[in-house]
Amino acid sequence: MAFSEGLFSSNEMINQTSVTGFVLLGFSSIRELQSFHFVVFLSIYLVAMIGNFLIITTVLQNHHLHTPMYFFLVNLSVVDIGYISTTVPKSMANSLLDTKLISYPGCVTQVLLVNTFGGSELSLLTVMAYDRYVAICYPLQYCLIMNWNVCVKMTAASLLCSAINGVVQATSMFSLHFCSSHVVEQFFCDFPELLKISCSDTQPIIWNIFAITLIACSTCFLLVLISYIYIFSTVFKIQSAQGRRKAFSTCTPHLIVFSFFLTTAMFSYLRPKSLSSLPLNLLSAVLYTILPPVMNPIIYSLRNRDIQVAVLKMLNKRVKFHIMNS
């Protein structure tokens, strides 16, 4: 595992000190590069926030989009906003203020929220695959099976399980002792990097996290795979080419988003330690914590005709309103 490299045992570090905070190594100590990092992260953050808020507003203001698929999409956008807001603003503030410090409670909060929102992202994408399975394979029973009560319960269960997992991982992480080194080789408090600087016996936690990550990713992957096997087998039976295109158009954005998120998450946490290095660790963290909240609204906007039409109508109304009042 990538995070098993460079761990310290309790025999290697005896002088334990009370930890009040950590140092986030980040991307660079050069002031000019820190300013560049701030500008880049600010641009990325604004794109993510605008894109996800646009999807939420569009769905809420268009009654014909009040369906289970868009209900899950709104929840995914809310999770994306929380996900990127957990890490990027603190990193931007550190670059702007030329500091690398994060408080102990702040570090605990980041570990908790990154695991909670990351798990929520994965579980919601799995639920959305089931929604597409029911919609395509059982269209006449769709409203009966995917009623609002079921949708709310599935979403609540996904968020609750992810929150519990986040609490468990944060609690286990900060039950460890930290000694002379408080430098986290990442731009946020990443679980694997914190394990490297602990002077406690981390092997039990490493194997627990490895098992939890592997089981969660494998289970979600299998559920999505099974859903799409049934979806594709049903779609290929549709006689109309237009009908097949319409069915695929509702599945393609979800399939792209799920594949991208799962691939980057598994690469970050399950890759062999021979592939671990500071630049690669920073890149992989960006891929699975920052890019999904940015790419998700873009992918769904580009590939979803209903979203495109609703956004254009909403923008036209706003333009006409401003023109009339100017």
Q: For residue 87, what is the domain's CATH number?
A: 1.20.1070.10
Q: 87-94: long-range contacts (C-beta < 8 A, 24 or more apart)?
A: 87/114, 87/187, 87/188, 87/289, 87/290, 88/41, 88/44, 88/45, 88/290, 89/45, 90/188, 91/24, 91/26, 91/37, 91/41, 91/187, 91/188, 92/37, 92/38, 92/41, 92/42, 92/45, 94/24, 94/26
**Residue 153 burial by Cβ neighbours in a 10 Å radius (0-12, 13-18, 19+):** exposed
pLDDT of residue 92: 92
pLDDT of residue 197: 84
Question: Is residue 60 situated within a structural domain?
Answer: yes
Residue 273 or 193, more confident? 193
- Please check whether residue 126 is in contact with residue 217, taking contact to mean a CB–CB distance below 8 angstroms: no
The Cα–Cα gap between 142 and 135 comes to 5
Question: Is residue 14 situated within a structural domain?
Answer: no
Question: Is residue 99 situated within a structural domain?
Answer: yes
Structural domain span for residue 232: 2-6+19-175+183-324
What pLDDT digit, counting tens, does each position of 56-90 carry?
998 998 888 899 999 999 999 999 999 999 999 99
Q: How confident is the model at residue 41 (pLDDT cuts 50, 70, 90)?
A: very high
Q: How confident is the model at residue 172 (pLDDT cuts 50, 70, 90)?
A: confident
Report the 10 Å Cβ neighbour count for 245. Answer: 11
What pLDDT digit, counting tens, does each position of 198-237 carry?
888 778 888 888 888 788 888 999 999 999 999 999 988 8
Helices 241-270, 203-235: crossing angle, 10 deg rounding? 170
pLDDT surpasses 90 at 44:
yes
pTM of the prediction?
0.86
Start-to-end Cα distance in the chain: 61
Question: Is residue 124 situated within a structural domain?
Answer: yes
Angstrom CA distances, 199 to 110, 175, 203, 228, 263, stand at 21, 11, 11, 45, 31
Question: Is residue 32 situated within a structural domain?
Answer: yes
| Number of domains composing the chain | 1
Question: Is residue 217 situated within a structural domain?
Answer: yes
Per-chain mean pLDDT for the chain: 84
pLDDT of residue 180: 65
Question: Is residue 12 situated within a structural domain?
Answer: no
pLDDT of residue 12: 38
Question: Is residue 37 situated within a structural domain?
Answer: yes
The Cα–Cα gap between 141 and 154 comes to 18
